[in-house]
C-alpha cells in the first residue's frame, strides 16, 4: 500500500507541487516568525548583558521603567568607599541620559519613537562576567567639551565619519550641542544596539550636560576581583551604601532591564504568531480542498484497490501516507523559505526602528521541530477529512463508468455551520461584553468559530450568489460566461472552500480597515472637541522636552498665554501608572468638569483623580493616594474628582512641582499656546523658537490630528503586510483549485475546443470562474469584516473610541482588487487549459 501511495504521488508531480504550496507558505510564515523572535531575544539578552557591571550601585527606585528619565543621582564621593571594598577590582561611575539625539548629516533626527537614544560618559569598564562592552573601534576616547564618540550603527546611519561635526539635540536646557566625532564605538563580537543610539562624552562634559554640572553619577559599576562572586560583592557594597542607594548584581539588573523589554517583544511575537496561525488555517483549507479534489479524481483507482482486496483502512491510510509525504516535503521547503521570511520580518520591524541588521539569524531546534510538527500535523489532519470519505467507496464502483465520491449531505454541513456560527458569536459576545477572564481567547475563538461556521455552511449559503453570478455572466459574456457560472455551481463545496480561504484573509483586512478608520475618526473627533488653544507644542517621538522651551514661547510676540502638561510613570498598587501634571495656576484652562471637590484647590502634594478611576480604586476626596515614584513612595491628598477628559492623559493629575519633587526632570510633554486675538504669523515665530530642536514641533489642530493618526496608519499598514500572506496563500488556493479542476475536466475542455471554442474563449471561461471564486470570498469577507469591525468598535466604545466609521472607498477598492486577484490567479491555469492538445484531451479517460 505504501508503495502504491508513493507511486501515485510521483505520478502526479504537478498535483504534488500544487498541494505542497499551501503548506510551504504556512510553515514558512511560522518558521520565519520563530526565527525572528529567537534572533530578537538573543540579541537583546546579549545587549543587556553588556550594559551592566558585576554589581550595579544605583539610587533606590531610581528607575521605575526602562527608558525613563530620572533626576536621582549618586555623589561621586561614593566611588572611594566602593573602591575600598575587598572584592572590588575597579569602580566606574556612569552618567546616562535619555533622549540625546544625533542629527544626521542630512538634518534629520536619527532614531525614532521606538528604541531609546542614550547619552552619557565614555567608559571602558568591563561589563559583568568580564564581558567586553562597547570598545573604540576607530579613533580615540573623547576628551573635553567638544569631542564625542558615537556607536558605529548611529555614525553609519547619520552619515558621519571621524573628524565630522556632529549636531546633538537633548531634552535638557542645553538644547543644542555640537562636537567633533573623535571615536566610533562598537561591540567586539559585532553585536549592535538594535536600533538604539549612543552618544558619549568624557565624564566632566557628560556631568555638565546631563546632570547640571553636579559631581555625581547616575550609577556605578563595580568589577569583582577574581574569586568574588557578584552576590558577595553586592552584599559588601550594600553595607557601605548611604540611604537611598542600592547595590544589585549585574545578573539581576540585566534581567530587570531585559524582562521589561522582552515583555514588550513577547507581545510582538504573539502578535506575529497570530498571523502565522491565520496563515496556517488558510493553508489547512487549501489542503482539505486539494485532497478532496485529488481523492475525487482517484476514486476509481481507489475503488479498484478496494476491489482487489484492500481494506477500507488501507485505502484511507494510503491517502494519509500521501499527506505525510507532502507534509514532510512542505515543511522542509517551508523551513527554507522561512529563513528568507525572517529577513523580511526584520526589515518590517526595522520600520519601527528595531534594527536587527547584522544579527545572525537564530535557527533553534525548537523552530525546526515546530515547523515539521505543525506542517505534518496540519497536512495530515486536513487530509483526513477527504481520506475518511475514500473509505466509503464501494469496490463495485471500480466497474462503473463515472463514479462519484460519496459526499456528506449539504444539510449536515449547513447545520454544523450554523451551530459553529452560533457558538462563535456567543464566544465573541462573551469575550467582548460579558467581561469573562481571558477575554482575548474568547474573542479569537469566537472569530475563528464564526469563520469556520460560515465556511461550513457556505456551499448552501452561497448558492444564491453563485446562481446570480451565473446569470449575470450569461448575460454579460454569453455562452462562455454561462459555462463559467455553471462550473462554479458544479461543485459548490469546492468553489466555496476555495473562496473561504480568501474570505479569512479579507475578513480580517476589512475588520482592520474598519477599526483603523474608526480609530482615526475617533482621534479626529477627540482632537476637534478637545483641542484647546491655538497651537500645541510637542516632541515628534512623544519624548519630554526642556521646560525652557515653554518659557521662551510665553515671551513670543502674539502669545496670550501658555498651558503646560507633562507626565511621569510610577507604580500604583504594583502596576505601572502614569501621573500627569500641570502648573497649578493653569488648571482652570483644562475646563475640567468636577464630580467632587474643586479643581482650583490643586496644589503641591495634592492630586485630582479621574472620577471613574477613583471609584474603581475606592478613593474619594480627602483620601491619600500612595504612588511609588523615582524618589520612593509618595503620598498625595485627593482634592477633587474630575470627569474623563481626553486632554488629561492619566487619571492622576498633580502639579509640576510635585512631579519634579518625585524625581522627574523639569521637562514638558505638551505646551498649549493661546494666541492674542488678531495676531498673524504666530506659527512662524513659534517655529523659530524650536528651529534648532528638530524633535520638538509646533502644530495647529489639523497638524496635531494628523500626527496622532500617523501611528494608527503605521500599525494598519503592518497588519496589511502580514495579512497579504494569508491572501497570497488563498490566491494560490484558487490557482490550485482551478488547475486541478482543469485536469479533472480535460476531456470536456477537449470537447469544447473540438466544437469550436477558441483558446481566447477558453481562457476567458477560466478567468471568469476564478473571478467568481475571488469575488465570493471578497463579498463574504466584506460582510463578516463589517460585522466584526462594528462589533469590536461597539465593544470598545467606552474607551474613547466611540466613532464607528466604515471606509466605503477602501472597501470598494478591496472588492475591485479581489476581481484583479481573480484574474491573476487564472493566468496560469487558463494558459494550461488553452494549450491542451485537443485530440489527446478528448481521448482522456
Partner 1 sequence: MTAVPTFRAPAARVRNLTKTYGAGEALIRALDDVTLDLGAGEFTAVMGPSGSGKSTLMHCCAALDTADSGSVFVGDQDLSTLKDKALTRLRRDEIGFVFQSYNLVPTLTAEENILLPLAIARRKPDPEWYDSVISTVALGDRLRHKPSELSGGQQQRVAVARALVSRPRIVFADEPTGNLDSRSGAEVLALLRRSVDEHGQTVVMVSHDPVAAAWTDRVVFLADGRVVDEVSHPTREQVLEVMARVSGPQSHSA
- Contact residues for partner 1, defined by CB under 8 A: 478-480, 482-483, 486-487, 489-490, 747-748, 751-759, 761, 838-839, 842
CB distance 329 to 385 below 8 Å: no
Using the minimum distance from each CB to partner 1, give the nearer residue, 140 or 840: 840
* Residue from 292, 760, 290, 741 nearest 487 by CA: 741
Distances (CA, A) of 802 to 274, 470, 526, 612, 792: 26, 41, 10, 17, 11
Min dist CB 397 to partner 1, Å, is: 16
Rounded Cα–Cα distance for residues 484 and 481 (Å): 5
Query: Mind giving me the DSSP string for 534-552?
Result: SEEEEETTS--EEHHHHHH
CB distance 279 to 723 below 8 Å: no
Q: In sequence order, what are the beta bridge partners of 217?
A: 74
Using the minimum distance from each CB to partner 1, give the nearer residue, 485 or 651: 485
Min dist CB 818 to partner 1, Å, is: 24
Using the minimum distance from each CB to partner 1, give the nearer residue, 367 or 491: 491
Using the minimum distance from each CB to partner 1, give the nearer residue, 184 or 480: 480
Rounded Cα–Cα distance for residues 139 and 142 (Å): 9
Rounded Cα–Cα distance for residues 119 and 71 (Å): 14
Rounded Cα–Cα distance for residues 93 and 83 (Å): 11
Using the minimum distance from each CB to partner 1, give the nearer residue, 312 or 759: 759
Using the minimum distance from each CB to partner 1, give the nearer residue, 81 or 748: 748
Cell numbers 520565519 correspond to: 32
CB distance 553 to 671 below 8 Å: yes
Min dist CB 297 to partner 1, Å, is: 15
Using the minimum distance from each CB to partner 1, give the nearer residue, 129 or 747: 747
HSE of 56 in the Cβ direction (CA atoms, 13 Å)? 28
* Residue from 272, 351, 358, 242 nearest 32 by CA: 272
Rounded Cα–Cα distance for residues 777 and 451 (Å): 12
Using the minimum distance from each CB to partner 1, give the nearer residue, 239 or 755: 755
First to last CA, the chain: 24
Strand spans (E) along 491-631: 535-539, 545-546, 559-572, 575-582, 594-597, 606-610, 624-629
Using the minimum distance from each CB to partner 1, give the nearer residue, 421 or 834: 834
Using the minimum distance from each CB to partner 1, give the nearer residue, 751 or 823: 751
Give the dihedral sign, CA 247/252/253/257.
Answer: negative
Rounded Cα–Cα distance for residues 301 and 327 (Å): 23
* Residue from 724, 278, 781 nearest 496 by CA: 781
Min dist CB 298 to partner 1, Å, is: 19
Rounded Cα–Cα distance for residues 33 and 340 (Å): 11
Using the minimum distance from each CB to partner 1, give the nearer residue, 259 or 471: 471
Min dist CB 349 to partner 1, Å, is: 49
Min dist CB 468 to partner 1, Å, is: 16
CB distance 342 to 36 below 8 Å: yes
Using the minimum distance from each CB to partner 1, give the nearer residue, 159 or 478: 478
Min dist CB 486 to partner 1, Å, is: 3
Q: In sequence order, what are the beta bridge partners of 675?
A: 559
Min dist CB 762 to partner 1, Å, is: 10
Using the minimum distance from each CB to partner 1, give the nearer residue, 309 or 756: 756
Using the minimum distance from each CB to partner 1, give the nearer residue, 78 or 762: 762
* Residue from 678, 655, 677 nearest 666 by CA: 655
Q: Strands 667-668 and 624-629, how do they pair?
A: unpaired
CB distance 97 to 170 below 8 Å: yes
Min dist CB 822 to partner 1, Å, is: 19
Min dist CB 472 to partner 1, Å, is: 16
Using the minimum distance from each CB to partner 1, give the nearer residue, 199 or 738: 738
User: What cell does 437 get?
Assistant: 477572564
Q: For 438-451, b where at least 16 C-beta lie within 10 A, e where not — what string?
A: eeeebbbbbbbbbb
Residue 180 backbone phi and psi in degrees, to 5: -85, 135
Helix (H) / strand (E) element for 586: namely none
HSE of 216 in the Cβ direction (CA atoms, 13 Å)? 16
Using the minimum distance from each CB to partner 1, give the nearer residue, 366 or 490: 490
Count of Cβ atoms closer than 10 Å to residue 465 Cβ: 19
Check residue 194 and report its DSSP letter.
T
Min dist CB 492 to partner 1, Å, is: 12
Min dist CB 756 to partner 1, Å, is: 2
**CB-based contacts of 127: which residues, under 8 Å, 6+ apart?**
49, 50, 51, 52, 53, 133, 221, 250
Min dist CB 333 to partner 1, Å, is: 36
Min dist CB 526 to partner 1, Å, is: 56
3-state secondary structure of 38: helix
Min dist CB 335 to partner 1, Å, is: 42
Min dist CB 373 to partner 1, Å, is: 42
Amino acid at each position: 500500500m505504501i508503495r502504491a501511495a508513493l507511486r501515485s504521488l510521483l505520478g502526479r508531480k504537478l498535483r504534488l507541487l500544487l498541494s505542497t504550496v499551501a503548506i510551504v507558505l504556512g510553515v514558512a510564515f511560522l518558521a520565519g516568525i520563530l526565527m525572528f523572535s529567537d534572533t530578537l531575544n538573543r540579541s537583546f539578552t546579549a545587549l543587556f548583558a553588556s550594559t551592566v557591571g558585576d554589581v550595579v550601585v544605583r539610587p533606590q527606585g531610581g528607575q521605575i521603567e526602562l527608558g525613563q528619565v530620572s533626576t536621582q543621582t549618586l555623589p561621586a564621593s561614593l566611588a572611594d568607599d566602593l573602591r575600598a571594598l575587598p572584592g572590588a577590582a575597579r569602580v566606574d561611575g556612569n552618567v546616562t541620559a535619555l533622549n540625546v539625539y544625533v542629527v544626521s548629516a542630512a538634518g534629520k533626527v536619527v532614531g525614532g519613537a521606538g528604541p531609546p537614544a542614550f547619552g552619557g560618559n565614555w567608559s571602558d569598564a568591563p561589563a559583568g562576567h568580564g564581558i567586553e562592552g562597547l570598545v573604540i573601534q576607530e579613533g580615540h576616547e573623547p576628551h573635553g567639551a567638544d569631542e564625542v564618540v558615537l556607536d558605529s550603527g548611529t555614525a553609519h546611519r547619520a552619515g558621519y565619519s571621524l573628524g565630522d561635526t556632529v549636531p546633538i539635540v537633548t531634552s535638557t536646557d542645553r538644547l543644542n550641542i555640537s562636537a567633533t566625532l573623535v571615536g566610533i564605538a562598537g561591540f567586539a563580537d559585532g553585536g549592535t544596539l538594535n536600533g538604539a543610539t549612543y552618544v558619549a562624552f568624557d565624564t566632566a562634559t557628560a556631568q555638565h550636560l546631563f546632570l547640571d554640572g553636579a559631581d555625581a553619577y547616575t550609577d556605578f559599576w563595580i568589577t569583582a576581583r577574581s574569586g568574588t562572586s557578584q552576590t558577595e560583592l553586592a552584599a559588601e557594597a550594600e553595607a557601605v551604601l548611604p540611604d537611598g542607594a542600592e547595590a544589585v548584581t549585574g545578573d539581576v539588573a540585566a534581567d530587570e532591564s531585559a524582562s521589561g523589554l522582552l515583555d514588550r517583544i513577547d507581545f510582538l511575537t504573539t502578535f506575529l504568531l497570530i498571523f502565522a496561525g491565520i496563515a496556517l488555517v488558510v493553508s489547512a483549507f487549501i489542503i482539505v480542498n486539494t485532497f478532496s479534489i485529488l481523492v475525487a479524481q482517484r476514486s476509481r483507482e481507489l475503488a479498484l484497490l478496494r476491489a482487489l482486496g484492500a481494506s477500507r483502512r488501507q485505502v484511507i491510510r494510503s491517502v494519509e501516507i500521501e499527506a505525510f509525504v507532502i507534509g514532510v516535503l512542505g515543511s522542509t521547503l517551508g523551513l527554507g523559505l522561512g529563513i528568507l521570511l525572517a529577513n523580511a520580518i526584520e526589515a518590517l520591524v526595522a520600520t519601527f526602528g528595531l534594527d536587527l541588521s547584522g544579527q545572525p539569524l537564530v535557527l533553534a531546534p525548537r523552530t525546526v521541530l515546530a515547523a515539521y510538527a505543525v506542517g505534518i500535523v496540519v497536512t495530515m489532519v486536513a487530509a483526513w477529512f477527504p481520506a475518511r470519505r475514500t473509505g466509503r467507496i464501494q469496490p463495485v464502483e471500480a466497474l462503473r463508468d463515472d463514479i462519484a465520491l460519496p459526499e456528506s449531505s449539504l444539510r449536515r454541513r449547513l447545520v454544523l455551520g450554523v451551530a459553529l456560527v452560533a457558538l462563535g458569536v456567543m464566544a465573541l459576545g462573551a469575550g467582548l461584553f460579558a467581561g469573562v477572564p481571558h477575554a482575548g481567547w474568547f474573542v479569537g475563538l469566537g472569530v475563528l468559530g464564526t469563520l469556520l461556521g460560515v465556511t461550513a455552511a457556505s456551499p448552501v449559503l452561497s448558492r444564491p450568489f453563485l446562481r446570480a453570478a451565473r446569470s449575470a455572466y450569461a448575460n454579460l459574456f454569453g455562452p462562455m460566461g454561462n459555462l463559467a457560472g455553471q462550473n462554479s455551481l458544479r461543485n459548490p463545496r469546492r468553489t466555496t472552500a476555495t473562496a473561504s480561504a480568501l474570505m479569512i484573509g479579507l475578513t480580517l483586512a476589512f475588520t482592520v480597515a474598519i477599526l483603523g478608520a474608526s480609530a482615526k475618526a475617533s482621534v479626529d473627533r477627540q482632537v476637534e472637541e478637545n483641542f484647546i488653544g491655538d497651537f500645541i507644542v510637542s516632541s515628534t517621538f512623544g519624548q519630554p522636552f526642556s521646560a525652557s522651551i515653554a518659557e521662551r514661547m510665553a515671551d513670543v510676540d502674539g502669545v496670550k498665554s501658555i498651558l503646560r502638561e507633562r507626565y511621569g510613570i510610577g507604580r500604583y498598587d504594583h502596576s505601572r501608572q502614569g501621573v500627569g501634571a500641570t502648573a497649578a495656576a493653569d488648571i482652570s484652562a483644562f475646563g475640567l468638569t468636577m464630580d467632587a471637590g474643586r479643581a482650583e484647590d490643586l496644589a503641591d502634594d495634592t492630586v485630582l483623580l479621574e472620577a471613574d478611576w477613583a471609584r474603581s480604586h475606592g478613593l474619594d476626596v480627602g483620601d491619600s493616594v500612595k504612588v511609588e515614584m523615582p524618589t520612593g513612595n509618595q503620598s498625595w491628598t485627593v482634592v477633587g474628582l474630575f470627569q474623563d477628559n481626553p486632554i488629561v492623559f492619566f487619571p492622576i493629575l498633580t502639579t509640576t512641582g510635585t512631579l519634579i519633587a518625585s524625581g522627574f526632570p523639569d521637562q514638558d510633554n505638551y505646551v498649549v499656546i493661546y494666541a492674542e486675538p488678531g495676531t498673524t504669523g504666530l506659527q512662524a515665530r513659534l517655529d523659530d523658537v524650536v528651529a534648532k530642536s528638530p524633535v520638538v514641533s509646533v502644530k495647529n489642530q489639523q497638524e496635531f490630528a494628523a500626527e496622532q493618526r500617523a501611528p494608527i496608519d503605521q500599525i494598519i499598514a503592518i497588519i496589511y503586510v502580514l495579512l497579504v500572506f494569508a491572501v497570497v496563500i488563498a490566491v494560490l488556493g484558487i490557482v490550485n483549485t482551478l488547475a486541478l479542476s482543469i485536469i479533472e475536466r480535460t476531456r470536456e475542455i477537449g470537447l469544447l475546443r473540438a466544437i469550436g471554442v477558441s483558446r481566447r474563449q477558453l481562457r476567458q471561461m477560466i478567468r471568469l470562474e476564478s473571478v467568481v471564486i475571488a469575488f465570493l470570498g471578497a463579498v463574504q469577507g466584506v460582510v463578516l469584516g463589517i460585522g466584526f469591525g462594528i462589533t469590536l468598535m461597539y465593544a470598545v466604545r467606552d474607551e474613547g473610541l466611540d466613532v464607528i466609521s466604515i471606509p466605503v472607498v477602501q472597501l470598494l477598492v478591496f472588492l475591485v482588487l479581489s476581481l484583479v486577484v481573480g484574474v491573476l490567479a487564472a493566468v496560469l491555469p487558463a494558459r494550461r487549459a488553452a494549450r491542451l492538445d485537443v485530440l489527446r484531451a478528448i481521448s482522456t479517460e
